[in-house]
């Protein structure tokens, strides 16, 4: 998730067009280790899996308040990152599906639609942030959104 200026530079160089976001509906991208790093928070664990930044990982710390997300909706903004050479901050709005297995929303700064999914036994939603040749897999904890995780 490059900064806005970096994204413009990539665009000027002609390195890709806006692509639709992906999701993890097959569940193969879920990582318990990545999930554990953001459990109990509205922070996001990002891993660059494609594009000039790959491979790299980082955690985007957000101003999200867990109590505010318990109704299944949340809006929050990234306030810092653990690896500035890999990721940058953004702003998000999300809503959990009725079955608790998908988190739908957007990066409101780009703007870019986002869909994160999970299996009933997974503690995080997993999805892709894809824009201008960059592809990041993100993990967001499910519990803050009032979602139960089945054993």
pTM greater than 0.85 (yes/no): no
pLDDT digits (tens, 9 = 90+) for 31-63: 999 999 999 999 999 999 999 999 999 999 999
Domain boundaries, the chain: 4-145
The single-letter DSSP state of residue 36 is H
pLDDT score at 72: 97
CA angle 75, 78, 80 (to 5 degrees): 160
Tokens of 10: 């990539």
pLDDT score at 122: 98
pLDDT digits (tens, 9 = 90+) for 4-29: 433 433 332 222 222 334 443 344 79
pLDDT digits (tens, 9 = 90+) for 75-131: 999 999 999 999 999 999 999 999 999 999 999 999 999 999 999 999 999 999 999
What distance in Å separates the CA atoms of residue 54 and residue 97, rounded to the nearest whole number?
Answer: 30
What distance in Å separates the CA atoms of residue 81 and residue 63, rounded to the nearest whole number?
Answer: 12
């Amino acid at each position: 998730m490059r900064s806005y200026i970096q994204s413009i530079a990539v665009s000027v160089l002609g390195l890709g067009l806006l692509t639709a976001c992906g999701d993890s509906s097959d569940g193969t991208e879920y990582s318990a280790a990545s999930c554990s790093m953001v459990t109990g928070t509205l922070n996001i664990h990002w891993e660059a899996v494609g594009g000039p930044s790959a491979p790299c990982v980082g955690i985007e710390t957000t101003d999200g308040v867990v109590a505010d997300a318990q109704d299944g909706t949340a809006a929050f903004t990234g306030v810092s990152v653990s690896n500035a050479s890999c990721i940058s901050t953004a702003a998000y709005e999300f809503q959990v599906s009725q079955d608790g297995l998908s988190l739908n929303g957007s990066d409101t700064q780009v703007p870019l639609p986002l869909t994160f999914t999970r299996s009933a036994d997974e503690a995080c939603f997993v999805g892709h942030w894809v824009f201008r040749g960059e592809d990041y897999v993100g993990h967001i904890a499910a519990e803050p959104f009032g979602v139960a995780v089945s054993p």
